[in-house]
Amino acid sequence: MPKKTYPKIDVEACIGCGACVSACPTSVLDMPSDKAVVVKADACTECGACVDACPVSAIVLAEQDY
């Protein structure tokens, strides 16, 4: 099965600042409550902007089956 890299959010570490949501050029992430969530994983271009924007390193790009 092919693999693709998607953002994975550590919800325990996420402080809900929204920096990752603002940094993502393809709107993969959203903040419907007090934590960031992945809402459009297939739109991820693996650019890493969300990872770089997170001040607490709560996001990693993780390889997953699709």
Position of tokens 């990693």? Answer: 60
| β-strand partners of 7 | 61
pLDDT, one tens digit per residue, over 2-58 is 778 899 999 999 999 999 999 999 999 999 999 999 999 999 999 999 999 999 999
User: Residue ranges of the domains in the chain?
Assistant: 3-65
pLDDT for res 46 = 93
What does CATH list as the number for 3-65?
3.30.70.20
Per-residue confidence (pLDDT) for residue 66, from 0 to 100: 57
Which H/E stretch holds residue 60? strand 59-65
Rounded Cα distance between 61 and 4, Å, is 10
What is the rounded CA–CA span in Å between residue 66 and residue 62?
12
Report the pLDDT value the prediction gives residue 64, as an integer from 0 to 100: 77
Q: What is the pTM of this model?
A: 0.89
